[in-house]
């Protein structure tokens, strides 16, 4: 991406107005997150107040404490992290190989495959909950660790669902690696697998990171499968399910909900901030032909 600034001549008052607008919009966009964190730190009396204030005089950790004590929240957190982590690593490796195949080789059915990968991104995964439910149930009888009520039943579908987009996005990164490099490596006597893992892989790594964001999010945010597949084994629940416990008929525990939401949002925020540069350039690469 060239870092050109679109410098159409703007008169000063206009630019001032644009900058004020940008700051106001930024404040509005950030407000829900601010409110979430603020409410998580408010003491019990303040949160159930009908006169909500945009600050708190006496921040407390009560809500967080309640979340971690009442629920086996730490465990759910680790479960979510485990599911998302395995999905990210597995889909990155599988997608890297596949992207290399479609970006650097010519073979029959290549275009067909690419169209398939594109179409596969459109599949509404929610619609597949029903057959997926039966598939996981049947798999569980033969393969240990993937049946209903196991974390495997959340990991496997998400690997499959994040693959098509990952392949599509990585393709651009693999294409960008000069072919001369590959020829040079072979002339120097490198084997094909050595080139793949020791030269191409490190070069494509930034792209893998950008792709991982999407895989991570899809797995971390999973709500439907956790709800449908983890029926009785609560020790294998993930964060979303733990969060919903605080919605009660007799009145929602908003402090608990906001604290749980905060705990669930922070890791993704950190992840995003770490990779935002690569994410933006990755999107640019994926969108450009």
Partner 1 sequence: MSAGTAQHARRAPAKGRRSRPGSTVPAGRRSGKGARRGTWTPWLYLAPALVVLGGLLVYPIYQLGLISFLEYTQAQVSGGEATTFQGFANYAELFGDSEFWNVAVATLLFAAVCVVSTLAVGCALAVLLTRVRAIPRLALMLAALGAWATPAITGSTVWVFLFDPDFGPVNKVLVWLGLSGFEDYSWTYDRYSAFALVLFEVVWCSFPFVMVTVYAGIRAIPTEVLEAAALDGASTWRIWRTIMAPMLRPILVVVTIQSIIWDFKVFTQIYVMTNGGGIAGQNMVLNVYAYQKAFASSQYSLGSAIGVVMLLILLAVTLVYLRLLRRQGEEL
Q: Which of residues 242-261 bind partner 1 (CB under 8 A)?
A: 243-244, 254, 257-258, 261
CA distance 69 to 77: 13
- Pick 61 or 119: Cβ nearer partner 1: 119
- For residue 36, the Cα-to-chain-centroid distance in whole angstroms is 20
- Quick one: residue 59, left, alpha or beta (phi over 0 = left, psi -120 to 50 = alpha)? beta
Selected binder of partner 1 within 11, 12, 13, 111 (CB under 8 A): 111
Selected binder of partner 1 within 45, 51, 67, 144 (CB under 8 A): 51
Selected binder of partner 1 within 44, 56, 68, 175 (CB under 8 A): 175
Q: Which residue has the tokens 């579908």?
A: 157
- Pick 123 or 233: Cβ nearer partner 1: 123
Sequence-ordered alpha helix ranges (H) in 176-253:
179-187, 192-194, 201-220, 224-229, 239-244
Selected binder of partner 1 within 11, 12, 108, 248 (CB under 8 A): 108
The site for partner 1, by CB under 8 A, has a size of 117
User: What residues numbered 3-42 form the site for partner 1, per CB under 8 A?
Assistant: 3-10, 14-15, 18-19, 21-23, 25-27, 29-30, 32-33, 35-36, 39
CA distance 156 to 150: 11
Residue from 211, 241, 260, 221 nearest 126 by CA: 221
Residue from 9, 33, 168 nearest 102 by CA: 168
> Least separation, in Å, of the C-beta of 94 and partner 1?
5
Site string for partner 1, 123-152 (x = CB under 8 A): xxxxxxxxxx-xx-----------------
């Amino acid at each position: 991406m060239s870092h050109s600034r679109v410098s159409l001549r703007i008169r000063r008052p206009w630019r001032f107005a644009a900058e004020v607008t940008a700051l106001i919009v930024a404040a509005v966009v950030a407000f829900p997150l601010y409110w979430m964190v603020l409410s998580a730190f408010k003491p019990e009396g303040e949160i159930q107040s009908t006169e909500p204030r945009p600050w708190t005089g006496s921040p407390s950790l009560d809500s967080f404490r309640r979340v971690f004590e009442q629920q086996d929240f730490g465990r759910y957190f680790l479960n979510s992290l485990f599911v998302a982590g395995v999905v990210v690593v597995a889909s990155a490796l599988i997608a890297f190989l596949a992207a290399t195949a479609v970006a650097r080789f010519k073979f029959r059915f290549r275009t067909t495959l690419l169209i398939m990968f594109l179409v596969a991104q459109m599949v509404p995964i929610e619609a597949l909950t029903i057959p997926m439910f039966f598939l996981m149930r049947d798999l569980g009888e033969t393969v240990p660790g993937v049946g209903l009520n196991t974390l495997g039943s959340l990991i496997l579908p998400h690997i499959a669902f994040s693959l098509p987009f990952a392949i599509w996005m990585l393709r651009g990164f693999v294409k960008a690696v000069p072919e001369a490099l590959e020829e040079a490596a072979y002339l120097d006597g490198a084997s094909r697998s050595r080139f793949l893992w020791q030269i191409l892989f490190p070069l494509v790594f930034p792209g893998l990171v950008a792709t991982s964001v999407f895989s991570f999010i899809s797995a971390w945010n999973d709500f439907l499968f956790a709800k449908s597949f983890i029926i009785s084994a609560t020790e294998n629940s993930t964060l979303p399910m733990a969060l919903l416990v605080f919605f009660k008929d007799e009145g929602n525990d908003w402090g608990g909900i906001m604290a749980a939401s905060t705990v669930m949002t922070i890791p993704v925020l950190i992840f995003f901030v770490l990779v935002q540069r690569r994410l933006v350039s990755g999107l640019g690469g994926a969108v450009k032909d």
